[in-house]
Amino acid sequence: MLRSFGLWLRSWHDSHRMLQGKIKCIFTVLFIALPFTWFLKASYNSTIAPLVTPGQDIGARGILTLRNFLPSGNKVIINHVHVRPRPWSDSLPTIYVITPTYYRMVQKAELTRMSNTLLNVVNLHWIVVEDSDRSGQRNVGLKWLRDTFSVNDSRPGVVYFGDDDNTYSLELFDEMRYTKKVSVWPVAFVGAMRFESPKVNASGKVYGWNAKYAPDRPFAIDMAGFAVNLQFILSKPDVYFRLHGIPSGHQETRFLEDLVTLSDLEPKAENCTKVLVWHTRAAAPPLYKGYGNPYIET
């Protein structure tokens, strides 16, 4: 009997030790997990949740906002494609980047690369326009700006027509931010040249163009090579991109002819001696038909 009692006592002691160990583990997990869970909840409620209120336009609060204008031009879908708050300063002008895009194999890749660049730019609002002959692409973005802001609005800003098949240096956005009327700079890999560029004299004034394609254009410049002051474009309500009867490569020059003269241009990028934007359009990849899951978005 004593032996049986001893075995029982030993078994009870072992079970008690195991129970104590389990209780200790449970309390350890609770002490670690509960504060961490509370911290995550508090962080979400204080920093993220207020920024993603349904229906709220949060582009002006530093969130990268994608405005998708349908081809009809009658409906606007606002998608918040990123909810990490970027640095925002009330003392800096806002850069409004208007990007026309269209469906193609590399569209998502191009827009992803561009969005990752723009997320690093302070005070930037991205307007993405669905490609359509009827809506006028960039003109839809201009219309939204004119409908949203008045010419007497004291909010400083600059408008840039940034295509999704370009590569942008972050320095470029610092260069354009304080544009007074229209600022200009070189663009690489366009017009069958290493780069096209405004010609700048010793006085810092633009007097011509380094371009091979249609060099006699009054403004022989690529769409990625200029930015316009927001208040200045608002003061010219009738200036739009012409869609019909314009030769290829002449949209930029006709647009700028309606805005400024050559002497009004403001050369940036160290008097147009530095390249800060490249026309690096992605080539459609060669694909084997019938391979892979066709329902996976690329």
Asked if residues 165 and 110 have their Cβ atoms less than 8 Å apart, the reply is yes
Which residue out of 110, 130, 196, 252 is catalytically annotated?
252
Backbone dihedral angles phi then psi of residue 47, each to the nearest 5 degrees: -120, -30
Cα pseudo-dihedral 117, 120, 122, 123, rounded to 10: 50
Using CA atoms, how far apart are residues 120 and 141, in angstroms rounded to an integer?
22
Label each residue of 91-151 as H, E or C. CCCEEEEEEEECCCCCHHHHHHHHHHHHCCCCCEEEEEEECCCCCCCHHHHHHHHHHHCCC
Residue 297 is among the residues annotated as catalytic for this protein: no
Residues annotated as catalytic (active site), given as ranges: 252
